[in-house]
Amino acid sequence: MIIEAFINGLLFGGVCALVALGLNLLFGVVRIVNLAHGEIIMLGMYGVFWIYSWSKNMFLAGLVTVSSLIPFMVLIQKAVFNKLLKAPGINQLIATGGMILALSYGAEIVWGVDYRSIPLTFPIAQIHGVFISISRLIAFAIAMSCALLLYLFLYKTYPGMAIRAMVQDSEEAELLGIKPEKMYVLAVGITGLLAGIAAICLTLIYSIHPHVGGEFTLFAFLIVVLGGLGSLSGSVVGAFIISEVFTISSILVGLEWAYVITLIFFILILILKPYGLMGRGE
Amino acid sequence: MVRKRMIYVLAIVLVVIIVAAATVYFMPRPAPELVIKVGLLASQSGPFAPAGALAMYRGMVIAIEMLNDRGGVEGYKIVPISADAMSSPDTALREAERLVTVEKVPIIMGVYSSAIAIPVAEFCEKNKVVFHDIVAISDEVTAREYAYTFRIQPRGSAWGEGTVEFLGELGYKYLGYDMPSKVKVAIIHEDGPYGVSVSDKNRWAVRKYGMQLVLDEAYSSKATDISSLILKLKAADPDVILHTGYFPDIVLFLKQARELGLKTRVYIGHGAGHANPRLLAESVGMEVVNGMFNIDPAPCQLLDKAKLGKDPYFGVPIGELIDEFLDRYYKKYGDRDPPTHATQGFAHVWTFITDVFSRAIRKYGKITADTIRMAAEETDIPEGMTPAGYGVKFAPSGAKDKWGKPWRGQNMRSYPVVYQWIEGKHVIVWPPAMATGEPVIPLPPTNPLAK
Amino acid sequence: MIILRVSALSKHFGGISAVNNVSFEVGKGEILGLIGPNGSGKTTLFNLISGLYRPDSGRIIFMGEDITKKQPHEICRKGIARTFQLVRAFPNMTVLENVVVGSIFGGGIKDLDVALNESRRICEFVGLAGKEDTPVRNLTAVDKKLTELARALAMKPKLLLIDELMAGLNPVETEQAMALLKRIREQGITIFWIEHMIKAVVGISDRIMVMNHGMKIAEGRPDEVVNDVRVIEVYLGGRW
Amino acid sequence: MAVNLFKKIKWNIIIAIIIMFLILPILPWRYLIHVLTLIFIFASASTYWSFMGRFGLVSLGHGAFFGLGAYTSSLLFNIYGLSPWIGMFIGGVFATSIAVIVGYPCFRYGVRGAYFSLVTLALSAAMMYTFSAMRGITGGLLGLTIRYEPGLLQFQFPEKYYYCYIAISFWLLSIYIWRRIEGGTFIYALKAMSDDEIFAEHSGIDLCKVKLQITMLSSFFTAICGTIYAQAISYINPEIAGITWSLEIAFIAILGGLYSMVGPLIGSAVYISFSEFVRVLLGSTLVGISHLMLGLLLIVFTIFLPGGIWGSIRTILFRRM
């Protein structure tokens, strides 16, 4: 049972990582703590749902969603984030907190409160009596390949390196002639991309409703901070740690206390390593 | 420039505040003659809405429309004042506060979630306003000797008891056992008041029949991953899974159960999401919900109209009322087969107003919280004389239920029925008096959860 | 009498050793100058003494007490005040408030009014009279430095560590600064200061210590040091 | 000059409040009084929040303290019949000790800025889940209704406006405490700390101690706010310890402008009356619109009025940023 739990935790971690990566990239580059990341994914999930139920074609659905989320994110960047760059952190939290309300209840007005989900059912996979959730396996695979591509992009291409320069030290980067605005747009675009992909994965697993986003945001934040704000590899590692801690502890003490344990674990780690597992500090 | 913007925004703020004050000031409008204000408190938004709160609200509204189209009660028109509880107790209380102090309603009807019903009941008791709980089923609501709280809806304990009773009296035979004590049961429930009160009586009844309780665990209905729960279930290998959940958690459970190869012989739900197999099927596929049991007051479309009498107040056959209701519901919301919560909203409001209000007016000449209360205490409707099928008599002050708990204001004649969703149709299988068919046990082999 | 004794002090950052086995003593009431090219570890040495960094090895004895592992605020209260190379001050507080902070928490004055009067006196002393109520962020670089210094003095230090006082001052201001240092010393405060402007250092220091690549390469009376071969090597040709 | 003006403003408010004390009982609508009570409870909570907030200790975990206070006093009353007047101090002590347990290591090992905020955020989430998981005692998500026994000792009154009095006086207390801090030497440590931590340390300030002191103060009184809320509404559920509330408390302070004493009050007045008003007006006609507008409002405010409402009014009045 523990083994099965472990595997499930691993797969769950993949999904979480996908959510966390976008969040973290946004923070690393634009220095915005976006509480509403989950809600943006929620919008994406609705997108996937509608296009799928209209066209019955998952790829089309994914494609359209992703390609529409990117400009949407850029729009938000221009409309909201840019205006908050100079503001103190707490103001960012409030504004993005406001976005949570605006987006989720906006969705409620547009789509109503009904639960929707895609009637995709997957075959059942079993290896030596260990069952593996295919939908999660797919999500996991997508997540990991995204992480890999992101890595390649950041370490092997010029714009990627520019972004990393921004993450490490924005002043220095500017001195090197990197245009922050451009980088912001780029990073935000990528965030949108990731959000879109996350949306695809999540629609495979969860049913869609206006408040689904919030259910991931907390986990995403735990992960990002545990891994270290601005450290993408940290996010991936953090995702697995958190999800394992959660899954295993829920096997041992039951789901209710699992949350408490996970959170306390998080607090302890953060106190021991104030900048997260792979954080660089200030 | 900056300052200009600020002034602009500040202007907005000022306007907002002024208008706010103004609305509060103008809200208590003088009520015209022969009108009864009724507060309808329902979570039209937020997570509870899709799980049944919205359906309930629609049922309530239709009931009042139909009444007014028939000229109201005793010449009084019913004016519904609806308030959105937004699935949050905090908001619900503020709205109740407003309904009572600004709108001055003598009665508040509605409430889907027990988490909201309990504080509202307590609030109404304090403010001497009648609270008619339409859907929320937690025993707690009527367990506090409140004088102003009434509930036609059966209690959560009836849910928890009913399903196990079904197993213990009938189901075990189909499982091929010679006695109930051989049945291996697993109880899983969301950790809210709803899941808790239902599962409590699950437990009680399971002990009563001496069944083997192989797993008993709660989970948060907000949980994003309950695979661990499923793994435990697999390890426990029960014959029967008794599940109490809202909606997204049920979908999540069924999806993961299927994917993690959970096998069982009987799956029984306890209302909420389980009451809407079509919606579930959209999410998890028809084959998974096929053969699923659920317990709830029967949706009126399932009732055997022959067994129903004439409406005590208007004298028309209740069957016709039901048809009209279903027809209006379809016209308005495009759903031919509304979930049971709609029936409850409709039937309970209809019954309460036609019976209690009319008596209050006839006997005491006016509608106030207290005349309603007194009238309600005299209510006595036999079986089959309401659109919900069951009769109505509220437990008097000091009365105790079979567990020795007070249940003042609780309808003693209502009961949920166990019905099975089989091959796209509902079949009532318990209690025998209402049964419209035989249960199919174990799960049909087409169901991926079947052993 | 020795006020500060540093023995075999070392600090490494990754591979490079910023301060390497440095030992020296500061006598009570003297002015000890510290010179050396950029990156020779002068500021790191200060950071070690003031407790900002923990040394890898070595000990720091102040007035016969080991302060090696102490935290900055404790060291302050023992009587070591410092200023920073890149001027530091509380930008959103007024000059007076800056100084008051020093005299309350460093100088240990509990009563606010006393602290205020004390601080006014010190502002006057360093030549900030009339600017007490200006927010620091609106001050000129020089006045910022003076504020920082005033704050340090308000802490009633026995030993004052000054990091680059003269940088960016015009000749007149330099003269005033040197005069100020002398007056501070007259108050019985020992001064240990880093300075690039050799002329100034030689002018008023009793002794001078020279560092290069984290090591002490020379120490002695100004005239000795400036004629020391190694020092001249360090300052290529050493003409000034 | 600004200072005098402040004094004046403060006095105006005092007078206004005395008048309010007098007129409250004769106000026709209890609903309005109810809202007023909420406004003042939240105003006090976010004033105490701003004790930390305005010095760069952005806590997103005050819901935890709020909830702890509420639950402690209510449980003590429901189970042992202990008067909430005593219970609220016990709750305060609990909250303070939690604050120390979490706060001390944070401050000692330099958990700063966003990290500190997120630790506190996690704290409030943990607190919420704990309350809901301890179903046996707290009633879980079912929430907890306080036994109704009117009486001064039980901290329960037949009429709403008593609670309003208490809320208002408690808010005044928060202002008084703030004045005391501003008058003393402690304020210098706080200001210095928020300006430049390293430099503050080198000015002889024990950062860890200072942070801990202000955190304890803030958490203690926030917990008491919780008790007052619990008594006024006579119903609590784990949500009040959760993230949403923590954020709301912070929102309100920022909204009003946290660098002045009346800021939080104005913030909560605007926030609560606006949300009530929108909900009442549009709540059941266009479902969800109220939250949507609230959200937009928050965004607009933080973008156009970074200094908060009161902050900006001041800016306009006194022509200084």
CA distance linking residue B413 with residue B378, whole number of Å: 14
* Interface A:B, Cβ pairs < 8 A: 113
Name the minimum distance, in Å, from the CA of D275 to any CA of chain B: 10
Backbone φ and ψ of B82, nearest 5°? -90, 145
Contact C105 D205 (CB under 8 A): yes
Give burial (CB, 10 Å; 0-12/13-18/19+) of A156. exposed
| Residue-range definition of the domain harbouring residue C103 | 89-156
Most confident of A99-103, A166-170, A257-261, B240-244: B240-244
D-chain CB neighbours of C73 within 8 Å are 201-207
CB C164 within 8 A of CB C195: yes
D-chain CB neighbours of B220 within 8 Å are 129, 132
B28 in contact with D at a CB cutoff of 8 Å? yes
- The whole-number mean pLDDT for each consecutive block of 10 residues of chain C, a chain of 240 residues, reads 90 83 91 87 90 90 90 91 88 91 88 91 89 88 90 92 85 88 90 87 89 88 84 63
Question: In this structure, what DSSP letter does residue B52 have?
Answer: I
> Given D32, D142, D288, which is nearest B45 (Cβ)?
D288
- The CATH fold of domain D2-318: ABC transporter involved in vitamin B12 uptake, BtuC (1.10.3470)
CA distance linking residue D316 with residue D321, whole number of Å: 9
Structural domain includes residue B150: yes
- D partners (3+ CB pairs within 8 A) are A, B, C
Res. B178: pLDDT tops 60: yes
Q: Kindly state whether residues B46 and B148 are assigned to the same domain.
A: yes
Contact A131 B279 (CB under 8 A): no
B27 in contact with D at a CB cutoff of 8 Å? yes
- Which three-class secondary structure state does DSSP give residue B150? strand
Q: Which residue of B has its CA nearest to D267?
A: B13
Contact A255 B229 (CB under 8 A): yes
Report the mean per-residue pLDDT for chain B: 86
Structural domain includes residue A279: no
Res. B39: pLDDT tops 90: yes
Burial code of C184-223, b = ≥16 C-beta within 10 A, e = fewer?
bbeeebbbbbbbebbebbbbbbebbbbbbbbbbbbbeebe
Integer angstrom CA distances of residue A184 from A33, A175, A188, A190, A195: 14, 16, 6, 10, 16
Distance of CA B23 to the CA centre of its chain: 33
Mean pLDDT of D225-249: 88
Q: Which residues partner with B417 through β-bridges?
A: B296
Q: Kindly state whether residues B165 and B269 are assigned to the same domain.
A: yes
Q: Kindly state whether residues C94 and C128 are assigned to the same domain.
A: yes
Looking at residue A81, what is its pLDDT? Answer: 85
Structural domain includes residue A281: no
Mode of pairing for the β-strands spanning B417-422 and C80-82: unpaired
Name the minimum distance, in Å, from the CA of C132 to any CA of chain D: 15
Percent of chain A with pLDDT over 90: 7
Structural domain includes residue A65: yes
CA distance linking residue A191 with residue A25, whole number of Å: 7
Q: Which residue of A has its CA nearest to D120?
A: A267
CA distance linking residue C224 with residue C220, whole number of Å: 6
CB A183 within 8 A of CB A190: no
Structural domain includes residue A173: yes
Q: Kindly state whether residues B147 and B184 are assigned to the same domain.
A: no
- B partners (3+ CB pairs within 8 A) are A, D
CB A148 within 8 A of CB A233: no
Name the minimum distance, in Å, from the CA of B281 to any CA of chain A: 8
Q: Kindly state whether residues C108 and C168 are assigned to the same domain.
A: no
Name which of B439-448, D79-88, D153-162 the model is least confident about.
Answer: D153-162
CA distance linking residue B366 with residue B359, whole number of Å: 10
pLDDT band at A282 (very low <50, low <70, confident <90, very high): very low
- Which three-class secondary structure state does DSSP give residue D5? helix
Q: State the greatest distance between any 2 C-alpha atoms of chain A, in Å, as a whole number.
A: 58
Give burial (CB, 10 Å; 0-12/13-18/19+) of D187. middle
- Tell me which long-range contacts B417-420 makes (C-beta under 8 A, separation of at least 24): B417/B162, B417/B295, B417/B296, B417/B297, B417/B298, B418/B162, B418/B163, B418/B166, B418/B268, B418/B293, B418/B294, B418/B295, B419/B293, B419/B294, B419/B295, B419/B296, B419/B298, B419/B302, B420/B291, B420/B292, B420/B293, B420/B294
| Domain termination residue (choose one: C156, C183, C203) | C156
Q: For residue range A103-131, list pLDDT tens digits in order.
A: 988 888 888 767 777 777 677 777 777 77
Structural domain includes residue B182: yes
| Domain termination residue (choose one: C115, C138, C156) | C156
Looking at residue A174, what is its pLDDT? Answer: 76
Report the mean per-residue pLDDT for chain D: 83
Structural domain includes residue C84: no
D-chain CB neighbours of B95 within 8 Å are 279, 283
| Domain termination residue (choose one: C124, C141, C156) | C156
Q: For residue range D139-190, list pLDDT tens digits in order.
A: 777 778 887 777 777 777 877 778 888 898 898 899 889 888 888 889 999 9
Give burial (CB, 10 Å; 0-12/13-18/19+) of C235. middle
Report the mean per-residue pLDDT for chain A: 83
Res. B210: pLDDT tops 70: yes
Structural domain includes residue B13: no
Most confident of B17-26, B168-177, D138-147: B168-177
Looking at residue D1, what is its pLDDT? Answer: 39
Contact D129 A90 (CB under 8 A): no
Res. D49: pLDDT tops 50: yes
Our count of domains for chain B comes to 2
Of the candidates B147, B103, B102, the one whose C-alpha atom is nearest the C-alpha of residue B121 is B147
CB C45 within 8 A of CB C19: yes
pTM to 2 decimal places: 0.82
In which residue are the tokens 């990582």 written?
A: A17
Integer angstrom CA distances of residue C68 from A39, B13, C59: 52, 57, 6
C-chain CB neighbours of D184 within 8 Å are 112
Structural domain includes residue B445: no
| Residue-range definition of the domain harbouring residue A152 | 2-272
| Residue-range definition of the domain harbouring residue B398 | 33-154+305-415
For residue C216, the domain's CATH number is 3.40.50.300
Of the candidates B115, B259, B287, B295, the one whose C-alpha atom is nearest the C-alpha of residue B194 is B115
Contact B24 D29 (CB under 8 A): yes
Of the candidates B283, B281, B317, B319, the one whose C-alpha atom is nearest the C-alpha of residue B302 is B319
> Given A113, A209, A251, which is nearest B231 (Cβ)?
A251
CB neighbours of residue B435 within 10 Å: 16
Q: Kindly state whether residues C70 and C127 are assigned to the same domain.
A: no
Backbone φ and ψ of C20, nearest 5°? -125, 105
Structural domain includes residue B440: no
Contact B102 D142 (CB under 8 A): no
Mode of pairing for the β-strands spanning A130-132 and A125-127: antiparallel
In which residue are the tokens 């959730």 written?
A: A133
Res. B42: pLDDT tops 80: yes
Residues 162-221 of D with CB under 8 A from C: 184-185, 188-189, 191-192, 195-196, 198-207
Q: Which residues partner with D280 through β-bridges?
A: none
Q: Kindly state whether residues C213 and C95 are assigned to the same domain.
A: no
> Given D243, D254, D294, which is nearest A101 (Cβ)?
D294
Structural domain includes residue B263: yes
B25 in contact with A at a CB cutoff of 8 Å? no
B-chain CB neighbours of D141 within 8 Å are 115, 191-193
Looking at residue D320, what is its pLDDT? Answer: 46
CA distance linking residue D61 with residue D244, whole number of Å: 10
Structural domain includes residue B115: yes
Q: Kindly state whether residues B172 and B278 are assigned to the same domain.
A: yes
Q: For residue range B60-87, list pLDDT tens digits in order.
A: 999 999 999 998 898 899 999 988 888 8
C113 Cβ partners below 8 Å, 6+ apart?
Answer: none
A-chain CB neighbours of D292 within 8 Å are 101-102, 105-106, 109
A206 in contact with D at a CB cutoff of 8 Å? no
Structural domain includes residue C136: yes
Looking at residue B21, what is its pLDDT? Answer: 62
Q: Kindly state whether residues C215 and C139 are assigned to the same domain.
A: no
Our count of domains for chain A comes to 1
In which residue are the tokens 């009648």 written?
A: B130
Q: Kindly state whether residues B272 and B386 are assigned to the same domain.
A: no
B-chain CB neighbours of A247 within 8 Å are 225, 227-228
- C partners (3+ CB pairs within 8 A) are D
Percent of chain B with pLDDT over 70: 93
Mode of pairing for the β-strands spanning B212-219 and B240-244: unpaired
> Given B228, B234, B255, which is nearest A255 (Cβ)?
B228
Name the minimum distance, in Å, from the CA of D167 to any CA of chain B: 17
Contact D196 C88 (CB under 8 A): yes
In which residue are the tokens 């109503």 written?
A: A112
Q: Kindly state whether residues C197 and C107 are assigned to the same domain.
A: no
* Interface B:D, Cβ pairs < 8 A: 133
Q: Kindly state whether residues C101 and C141 are assigned to the same domain.
A: yes
Q: For residue range A140-150, list pLDDT tens digits in order.
A: 888 889 888 98
Name which of A274-278, C139-143, D241-245 the model is least confident about.
Answer: A274-278
CB B164 within 8 A of CB B209: yes
Distance of CA B157 to the CA centre of its chain: 13
Tokens of D24: 């409250």
Q: Kindly state whether residues B166 and B292 are assigned to the same domain.
A: yes
> Given B86, B102, B119, which is nearest D29 (Cβ)?
B102
Our count of domains for chain C comes to 2
Mode of pairing for the β-strands spanning B184-190 and B130-133: unpaired
Amino acid in the structure at residue C99: V
CA distance linking residue B330 with residue B59, whole number of Å: 11
Give CA angle at C109 (C103, C110), nearest 5°. 130
Res. B163: pLDDT tops 70: yes
Q: Kindly state whether residues C22 and C33 are assigned to the same domain.
A: yes
Backbone φ and ψ of B200, nearest 5°? -55, -50
C-chain CB neighbours of D189 within 8 Å are 101, 104-105
In which residue are the tokens 């008003």 written?
A: D277
Res. D318: pLDDT tops 70: no
CB C98 within 8 A of CB C131: no
Looking at residue B242, what is its pLDDT? Answer: 94
Backbone φ and ψ of D190, nearest 5°? -60, -50
Q: Which residue of D has its CA nearest to A87?
A: D306
A35 Cβ partners below 8 Å, 6+ apart?
Answer: A93, A96, A97, A99, A100, A217
